[in-house]
Amino acid sequence: MYEIVEHAIDAHAVAAAVADPTAGAIVTFIGTTRDHNDGRRVTLLEYEAYPEMAVAELRKIGETVQQRWPITKVAIVHRIGVVPIAEASVVIAVSSGHRRAAFEACHFAIDRLKEVVPIWKKEHFEGGEVWIGSQTGERFG
């Protein structure tokens, strides 16, 4: 399961997608909108994707994970559009025979996602907004 969605993510459904009779562990990572960043009071996050490429890159991360660890299944779902405070923007689930591999693989997957998947995050805070990661550091408002 590799998806970009425009609605709330059901984390249980993502975890269920990697359930397997040979798995002894399922590790999930849920990235959520935090109400503060860099001393600013964050009001919401807004995500934009290059959807066709983002899904392909998510699939590649899953394939890399399965090559590096004895992982049974991988699922990654990323939400785009407005993600309110405390709601999930991304859910990753991996299953494996044993927990150590599942933890390591899940950690790798979220780090890799943030490096290469063409999804951008705009932080809306009290007094303005900014594209996170944008090296020009432009701020409006």
Partner 1 sequence: MEIQVRFFASVREKLRRSEATCTVADGATVRDLLDHLCREYPALEVVRKSLSIAVNREYVDPSHVLADGDEVALIPPVSGGLDVRDR
Judged by CB under 8 A, does residue 133 bind partner 1? yes
Of 77, 119, 125, 128, the one binding partner 1 (CB under 8 A) is 119
Distance CA 4, CA 61 (A): 14
Binding to partner 1 by residue 85, rule CB under 8 A?
Answer: no
Concatenated DSSP letters for 27-56? EEEEEE--SEETTEEEEEEEEEE-HHHHHH
Binding pattern to partner 1, positions 8-37, x when CB under 8 A?
A: ------------------------------
Span interacting with partner 1, options 8-16, 36-44, 92-100, 112-120, rule CB under 8 A: 112-120
Strand stretches in the chain, DSSP E? 2-5, 25-32, 36-37, 40-49, 71-79, 81-84, 88-96, 119-125, 128-132
In angstroms, the Cα distances linking 12 to 21, 118, 129 are 17, 25, 32
Instruction: Look up residue 7 and give its two tokens.
Output: 């609605």
Kindly state whether residue 48 participates in binding partner 1, applying the rule CB under 8 A.
Answer: yes
Smaller CB separation from partner 1, 23 or 46: 46
Nearer to partner 1, 2 or 50 (CB): 50
Q: Is 121 in the site for partner 1 (CB under 8 A)?
A: yes
Residue (73 or 78) nearer to partner 1, CB: 78
Helix orientation angle between 99-116 and 51-68, rounded to the nearest 10 degrees: 150
Applying CB under 8 A, among 19, 56, 128, 139 the residue interacting with partner 1 is: 56
